């Protein structure tokens, strides 16, 4: 593929920015990749592993002459960083972000950006439970959705160009209204993460069941929750604080549903439980048919040797 941006500035060098660096390099999408991070340790690690072509000590240095600036830090810090870099942005540059919340980011970042700079918020729906500059890999975005939420005055040509970058990294790109994005993500990501954190927290607090028992016997189901409950605490704190209304809405619905099932258990209503569990199975099938998860048993964690299977 051909170069889409001559200089990309990555502000924040965690899993997402690191994966973008690997992917842009593999597919030849960026002339130069410049990166920076707030913590000196992160910058040192990025230099050590050659994550970017150049690592600068400040965001202001990083954005100089860049035609794409990617805000890739926890969403709660984006407004402050936007204010800091705004006076140093090149005319015609595009500023995007990779935050999991869009409404709050638009409100925090938008007002700082000067006329002549394109602001196109974005969100790659991809990630792992690992974080930091060593966690990235080039395939992270392949066959995953990236949602762009252009604002009212986003330039269509600039949106097309950013779309081209994401598609070049293997993503499926769609556009969405910011508010709808935040509701969709509350359902598909934010509420599930909070519920996973809660379930792991419950296990942590029990005294009659020891922590070592919870750990040893986790393969019975619990361990699935612990993966997403191991995600970056700062990132997730900011997600919940900035998408508060949608998350509280979904959590309210969740509690209602839970009480319905809890009551069915208490009353011994097996038919209701069976019907509920049958419906939820269909959603899993839909996800597998859409290519958004593996059909391999146990996420493919189990390695089977087929040589002596009965068939």
Residue 258 interacts with a second copy (CB under 8 A)? yes
- Shortest separation between residue 84's beta carbon and a second copy, angstroms: 21
Q: Are strands 5-11 and 30-36 parallel, antiparallel or unpaired?
A: parallel
Query: Which listed range, 87-95, 104-112, 151-159, 200-208, lies at the site for a second copy (CB under 8 A)?
Result: 200-208
In angstroms, the CA 156 to CA 4 distance is 16
**Can you tell me which of 126, 153, 155, 178 binds a second copy, judged by CB under 8 A?**
126
Element spanning 275, H or E: helix 270-289
8 Å CB contact between 121 and 151 = yes
Residues 156-185 that bind a second copy (CB under 8 A): 183-185
Q: Which stretch binds a second copy (CB under 8 A): 35-43, 107-115, 162-170, 211-219?
A: 211-219
Which residue, 6 or 262, has its beta carbon nearer to a second copy? Answer: 262
For 263-279, b/e burial (b = at least 16 CB within 10 A) is ebeeeeeeeeeeeeeee
Site string for a second copy, 40-59 (x = CB under 8 A): ---------xxx--------
Q: Which of 91, 115, 207, 216 binds a second copy (CB under 8 A)?
A: 216
The smaller minimum CB distance to a second copy, of residues 115 and 290, is found at: 290
Of 61, 77, 128, 164, which one interacts with a second copy (CB under 8 A)?
128
Closest CB 192 distance from a second copy, rounded Å: 4
Could you tell me if 79 and 112 are in contact, meaning their C-beta atoms sit under 8 angstroms apart? Answer: yes
- The DSSP string of 149-201 is ---TT--HHHHHHHHHHHHHTTPEEEE--HHHHHHHHIIIIIHHHHHHHHHHH
Beta strand pairing call for 145-148 and 118-119: unpaired
277 part of the interface to a second copy, by CB under 8 A: yes
**Measured from the CB atom, is 153 or 205 closer to a second copy?**
205
By CB under 8 A, what part of segment 60-119 binds a second copy?
A: 76, 100
């Amino acid at each position: 593929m051909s170069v889409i941006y001559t200089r990309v500035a990555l502000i924040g060098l965690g899993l997402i920015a690191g994966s973008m660096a690997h992917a842009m390099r593999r597919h030849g999408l960026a002339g130069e990749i410049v990166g920076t991070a707030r913590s000196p340790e992160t910058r040192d690690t990025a230099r050590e592993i050659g994550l970017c072509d150049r690592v600068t000590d400040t965001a202001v240095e990083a954005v100089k002459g860049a035609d794409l600036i990617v805000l890739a830090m926890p969403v709660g810090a984006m407004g402050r960083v936007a204010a800091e870099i705004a006076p140093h942005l090149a005319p015609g540059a595009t500023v995007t972000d990779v935050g999991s919340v869009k409404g709050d980011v638009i409100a925090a970042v938008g007002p700082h950006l000067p006329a002549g700079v394109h602001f196109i918020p974005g969100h790659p729906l991809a990630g792992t439970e690992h974080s930091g500059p060593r966690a990235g890999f080039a395939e992270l975005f392949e066959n995953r959705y990236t949602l762009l939420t252009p604002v009212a005055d986003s330039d269509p040509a600039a949106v097309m160009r950013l779309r081209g970058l994401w598609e070049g990294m293997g993503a499926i790109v769609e556009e969405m209204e910011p508010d709808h994005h935040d509701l969709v993500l509350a359902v598909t990501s934010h509420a599930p993460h909070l519920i996973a954190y809660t379930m792991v927290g419950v296990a942590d607090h029990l005294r009659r069941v020891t922590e070592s028992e919870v750990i040893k016997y986790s393969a019975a189901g619990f361990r699935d929750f612990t993966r997403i409950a191991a995600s970056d605490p700062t990132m997730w704190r900011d997600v919940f604080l900035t998408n508060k209304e949608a998350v509280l809405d979904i959590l309210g619905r969740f509690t209602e549903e839970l009480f319905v099932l809890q009551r069915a258990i208490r009353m011994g209503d097996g038919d209701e439980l069976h019907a509920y569990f049958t419906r939820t199975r269909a959603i899993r099938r839909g996800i597998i048919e859409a290519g958004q998860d593996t059909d391999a048993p146990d996420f493919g964690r189990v390695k089977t040797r087929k040589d002596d299977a009965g068939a």
